[in-house]
Amino acid sequence: MEREQNQKLISLVPLLLFAVLAASVLTVLLSGTKIYAKVTRENSSSALKRTSVQYVYTRIMQAEDKGSVRIENFGGTPAVVIDTKADGESFTLRFYCHGGCLCELFTYDENEVAPEDGEMILKMQSMEAEITDGLLRVTFTHESGEKETLFADLTPAAYDGISVTADSEKGEHE
């Protein structure tokens, strides 16, 4: 009788071990999925922030004359406008939010254009812009509702070499 019971217990051990194995597999898989989702979400959010702010900022910094950066009401939506000249011709670059996207539109000065003519850069809920005392402030509201603000100094001193901002050489992270 006792031997029979022992036999039953011994045959249960592999089953028990298998259950432990199954539970472990499930736990590792679930935690892996959770971590992967979190990493992807964070990377995506960071990339969105970087792209929107960095893209517009770089374009502004590339402008030959910071005084040519202005804001206008473009078809009912606020737009950051950069006027440039190349080979005697005038061009206008606009950044604005239209149809749930941040758009860029590069045109000849005289061309008549509408917001829907722009090139979509990335998805964006809305964009607000203002220039006060030579300081441009652009607030992007992402699809998630998260806000990101871009500041750019438009005073000539920031452009003509008197003022320097260096980030790559002394920038450090530990």
Partner 1 sequence: MKNKAILPLAEITVMLLVFALAAAITLGAFSKSSRISEENRDRDNSVLLARSVAEVLKSTRGDLKLTGEILTRGTEDDGTAKSDTASRPIFTAGDDSLVLYYGENTSPTVPERAEYTVFVRVAKLDGYSEAEITVEKSGRAIFTLPAAWSDTDCSPLAELGKADARSVKGGELE
Cβ 45 to partner 1 shortest distance, Å:
8
Give 17 or 114: the residue with its C-beta nearer to partner 1. 17
How far is 108 from 98, CA to CA, in rounded Å? 20
Give 87 or 160: the residue with its C-beta nearer to partner 1. 160
How far is 71 from 83, CA to CA, in rounded Å? 11
Phi-psi region of 86 (alpha: psi -120 to 50; beta: other; left: phi over 0): beta
Q: Which residues contribute to the site for partner 1 (CB under 8 A)?
A: 7, 10-11, 13-14, 17-18, 20-21, 24-25, 28, 31-32, 35-36, 38-39, 42-43, 45-46, 49-50, 53, 57, 66-67, 71-73, 76-79, 126, 128-135, 137, 139, 146-158, 162-167, 170-174
Cβ 96 to partner 1 shortest distance, Å:
10
* CB distance 118 to 94 below 8 Å: yes
Give 86 or 165: the residue with its C-beta nearer to partner 1. 165
DSSP state of 116: G
How far is 137 from 119, CA to CA, in rounded Å? 22
Give 51 or 108: the residue with its C-beta nearer to partner 1. 51
